[in-house]
Structure 1
């Protein structure tokens, strides 16, 4: 036995001892008060007030006697308080469940005619669409395993008036299948009068087959909202509880309490998730991931008794349809339904046994919820161990250099990067799931619920009743167990966070090592590229050496060349072509030579550009001069015509007779008609119209054009003189 189990047993014994001591103290106090009231001497305390009197009967040799601590040590039950309380049937539910029996024909008709919800259609797809309902037998034979019956686990416990659960095994599994035996076990309630009365029933279905899903819906839909339960199983949600529904419109929800678990688990060997479950497509385990699947479970409690009181709906919503809610007695007849969809081998199968005594339905419900928390924690611990094994190097890592290099540098498939990323994100999702579990527990089971003072959730109307006190003490032990699981889950979160930090460090080291390796490879590739460049350069030089030779040989190889056998022309040509070309190439291969030829080429290209601009401007000026001459001729003709229209005098006649003497007069008249000079002359005027020593009117030196620089200055001046002379000549001719 481990240390935790010993501490747990010691704590339970201590709680039982303290409870028994308190009751003895209360009994002695009550006995003293009764003696003083009767004015009599106090005698031996009446231990009947403690509960049921502890006696050892010969007729009942198997009944546990003596104190509660002895009972704890003998039975080892985690939830028993003392044997006297366990044997007192007044502490347990006494109202039996309603009698009921279900037929297979009714089940077939129900499966065919019920309006299934989307979640129900997904779960029962194989039953509804594959023609199974037309088969004369709904449940498979034992030899058939296509309904996954060999993976499923079913349990039905009938709880009698003494609180002990009795397992109903149904028929022999060798003659019928598990599904048929499970159906026969829960389809009847209180039909055998020879057996003890059933006040409560616990139904556990782990990995049920589709036909069992349909049978459970048919049998339990009267007490539970099975569409809601199946929706919680199918849809991806977080762990949540739905206990406070006294004001719901559906009467079934008013009397039921549901706790939905949602987490992850490793796909078990030879197990396969259901079609509607989210799971890893790659079932086999690899170096970068572990096959996981979504795991869902629902624990629901239904109280079938009559309501004990009404509560007013104090919601501020004006459209609330339910003004008053129903509150049910926690000691009513009850049913606990537990449906699990976890494709692994980790589910607990020994939670409910005859050693336990359930006071009422809430205790059995809490015990089942405790089992689910333990299973979830155990599954998460297994995932944590597998992830740790996945990312942790093998023991030979310290001594094997090859293993170290494999962990330090990434391979072509990015194996470790994939594994680290998957592990880091998976642990983060697990932490979120665990936090949702803890929040659901703490938000649901508050201090008022544990003390029985909540208005709608399991209220204890008379706190002085012995059975209420007994229930509170057993709930106290369950609360300790649940809080212990919460602490372990919080510890699991801390371990997951620490492992995530380690994974980040490994990932950073992997990235660092891979980056360094890639940098070195880049340098090596650069060196190889440089060597290839040198080889290409050498090959280019060889080609350049043979290029002029090829040119010369091609020229002398033409058919129209002289055929005399004299090689000196060929030699001279080859030297004149090859030597300058090779010298030019050699000069370009040096830095100074390259800069020299670069400067000279730039100057040459600039001169060529200037020459092109000069020629384009010169041609443009010639066109402008011709145009100006035509305009001048037209203006002169117009002026002469105008002059002839005026009155003639002798002087005009003389002028016409002697035209050469009127040149100056015509020129003066021609100046009045406007400037007929060419653009070149205008530019000369503008440039020569400065004040004093060639400065402009504003005092700044005139901007020189490209024609003022270099040896072109004289050419420009001569062209200006020719343009001026040409203009005067044309004017004289016109006159």
Structure 2
């Protein structure tokens, strides 16, 4: 059985052959019409067989109309035939519309896009003039900060094979949409075969509605995946006329979560008034041979183990621009608004859809748009592109969920291998399972947060009035009941059903993630309990070992312990036992009182002896002072004593009494000593001879006392 790619390739070839046949047939038709006009008189009716006898042309399902501009302006109805009689487009099947209704070109946008062409020299001039914002400079890194790279010729890599900037991994899809809504893919396989993938992408986006192209486009869908920095610069150059590309780059780089930027009718930048942007931001698993962008937050581990899941942040933007004049002027209700009025643009004007994808994996769907689809206008093409992003996000969320489930699920040998059970039951020294469970639970929580942001962006902006075409600024339908608008609302209702289905799938994914987080939490609790039990067992083992060690120590210390027991414990128990009797109590009380009395007497004796020694020392110092004064007094009366120089006689009892009385007077001399103002002792005046004898007698007695003490 032929694959889908083969069938699509054959259908594309059939479309090309049919286009060539249709062009030849149109030329013949014009020549015949001119000849008929020259033969038939003016105002004569044209024979009915003129058109009825024209044979039907073979065509592929939901094919586009080819022909000259004059032929398209006549809006003649297309013939059904060939494969069209065997199959219908998927859109017709879902909407229930007949082929005749779907083939009516009046139901589709009919305004052609303005021709555009860009060259490499213009790109070289454009890049230095870009107003580099923070996020734009990150996207164009290695290009704008490298002067040699800016002077390189050619600026877009031309060499085939693997390139340093990894542009050989870039991918693109460009579709031109005709007046019948059919898609025709713009492929530059001729350039890709001769040159690089980057050159093919550049030539696909640099031209629009250029001759000798006969089939002009009313809309274009451009999908660019995993671009290199120079290709991002080329996209900036080619689309800056229609989009604020710096804003798109900011959505790619900034970590703000998914968002929708639709209600901008009052913006001062006309490009933002005309454009509508849906920004996707979430997480994915890095694919084999893929690398995240430099500015994407990603896993930093170079070596990937069997249990490692390389997660990276991924992002994309889907933008729609509606060309043509404004169809409605809207008053700005905000009191602080800069612009008092805004403008709404016709959804049936010419249009472009730009989709920039930065997913470092191989999970992006390339079948969102194909040659079997018809889009009535740019709004439908934009909504289908956004729907494709929702589906791809669901696919990536499912892969993350499966990878985490596999990470935390035991292997099949768990039931049969005891070593595996022990390994999972208890934590190792590196806390492998605790870290694994923590990472898995946190990652699922972040994934749910990204899903929640996507759902909020959808529900806040795609309201009922938007789907029904009654919104004042967002794709208003002026002729609400016209056939074209009725047909458009039917297709939008079908798209809404598909969106609601994807929203339900994302909500189910969130619930599955929450359930998995609960399971992980239970695994963490079981691991903690098992680790706690194991810790208790280890502690018990250590306690037993410590107890045995203590017993050995006690046995080694038995003799000292016995001695201490006899020396201390036995007297203590005797004391306690004796105090329990009345006689023992009186005996210990008396002994205690005697002990305290002995201690008091001993302390009193010690203090008294110390006091007597202090008194003796003070007395000795007083006598020494007195002796010095006496010698001073004696020296004064020496001359008188020498003059007398009488021999000592035997002293009678009466004389002894006198001498004693005089000695008392001499002792009073101590009290008669006076101090001068400067503290120097002054001796009293000299006394008589009897006083001198008393002094000598006192000195003799003091000398005897000292000898006795010594």
Structure 1 length as normaliser, TM-score? 0.67
**What residue ranges of structure 1 are gaps of 5+ in the alignment?**
1-54, 542-581, 632-656, 661-735
Structure 1, 122-131 or 270-279: larger mean CA deviation: 122-131
3-state SS of paired residue (2:192): coil
Q: State the Cα distance separating 1:60 from its structure 2 match.
A: 3.9
3-state SS of paired residue (1:125): coil
1:585-633 per-position Cα deviation (integer Å, ceiling 9, x unaligned): 4233x6x876457899999xxx9999999988987788899999999xx
1:169-194 per-position Cα deviation (integer Å, ceiling 9, x unaligned): 12431212111111111111111244
> Does residue 115 of structure 1 match 2:137?
no
Contact 2:206–2:238 (8 Å) recurs in 1 = yes
Which residue pairs with 2:513 in the alignment? 496
Which residue pairs with 1:401 in the alignment? 418
Which residue pairs with 2:99 in the alignment? 83
Pick one of 532, 535, 538 that aligns with 1:521.
538
Contact 2:239–2:245 (8 Å) recurs in 1 = yes
> Does residue 259 of structure 1 match 2:278?
yes
Q: State the Cα distance separating 1:222 from its structure 2 match.
A: 1.4
Shift in CA distance, 143/477, structure 1 to aligned 2, threshold 3 Å: same
Which residue pairs with 2:314 in the alignment? 295
Instruction: Give the distance between the partners of 1:79 and 1:535, measured in 2 at CA.
Output: 89
Instruction: Give the distance between the partners of 1:601 and 1:188, measured in 2 at CA.
Output: 116
1:274-423 mapped onto 2 (5 Å cutoff): 274-286=293-305, 289-317=308-336, 320-423=337-440
Which residue pairs with 1:187 in the alignment? 206
Which residue pairs with 2:694 in the alignment? none
Instruction: Give the distance between the partners of 1:57 and 1:344, measured in 2 at CA.
Output: 51
1:419-467 per-position Cα deviation (integer Å, ceiling 9, x unaligned): 1111111111111111111111111100000000000100101111111
Shift in CA distance, 386/136, structure 1 to aligned 2, threshold 3 Å: same
Contact 1:289–1:423 (8 Å) recurs in 2 = no
Which residue pairs with 2:229 in the alignment? 210
> Does residue 456 of structure 1 match 2:453?
no
3-state SS of paired residue (2:413): helix
Pick one of 108, 116, 119 that aligns with 1:103.
119
Contact 1:120–1:227 (8 Å) recurs in 2 = yes
Instruction: Give the distance between the partners of 1:310 and 1:200, measured in 2 at CA.
Output: 24
1:118-267 mapped onto 2 (5 Å cutoff): 118-130=134-146, 131-140=148-157, 141-170=159-188, 171-267=190-286
3-state SS of paired residue (2:456): helix
Contact 2:427–2:434 (8 Å) recurs in 1 = yes
Instruction: Give the distance between the partners of 1:484 and 1:348, measured in 2 at CA.
Output: 18
1:70-92 per-position Cα deviation (integer Å, ceiling 9, x unaligned): 98963334766432232111111
3-state SS of paired residue (1:519): helix
Pick one of 19, 33, 56 that aligns with 1:59.
56
3-state SS of paired residue (1:258): strand
Shift in CA distance, 307/532, structure 1 to aligned 2, threshold 3 Å: same
Instruction: Give the distance between the partners of 1:271 and 1:617, measured in 2 at CA.
Output: 102
Contact 1:287–1:390 (8 Å) recurs in 2 = no
Shift in CA distance, 630/389, structure 1 to aligned 2, threshold 3 Å: same
1:134-174 per-position Cα deviation (integer Å, ceiling 9, x unaligned): 11111221124222123221111111111111111124312
Contact 2:89–2:373 (8 Å) recurs in 1 = no
**What residue ranges of structure 2 are gaps of 5+ in the alignment?**
1-51, 63-78, 577-587, 589-593, 619-660, 665-710
Contact 1:94–1:199 (8 Å) recurs in 2 = yes
RMSD: 3.6
Structure 2 length as normaliser, TM-score? 0.69
3-state SS of paired residue (1:126): coil
Instruction: Give the distance between the partners of 2:596 and 2:248, measured in 1 at CA.
Output: 90
Which residue pairs with 2:32 in the alignment? none
How many correspondences in the alignment? 531
3-state SS of paired residue (1:403): helix
1:338-372 per-position Cα deviation (integer Å, ceiling 9, x unaligned): 00111001001121111111111110100000000
1:290-689 mapped onto 2 (5 Å cutoff): 290-317=309-336, 320-536=337-553, 541=557, 585-588=561-564, 595-596=569-570
Instruction: Give the distance between the partners of 2:598 and 2:398, measured in 1 at CA.
Output: 89
Larger Rg: 2
Instruction: Give the distance between the partners of 2:186 and 2:363, measured in 1 at CA.
Output: 23
1:234-292 per-position Cα deviation (integer Å, ceiling 9, x unaligned): 11111110000101121111111000001000010111111110001125544654110
Shift in CA distance, 534/96, structure 1 to aligned 2, threshold 3 Å: same
Contact 2:363–2:396 (8 Å) recurs in 1 = yes
Shift in CA distance, 287/528, structure 1 to aligned 2, threshold 3 Å: farther
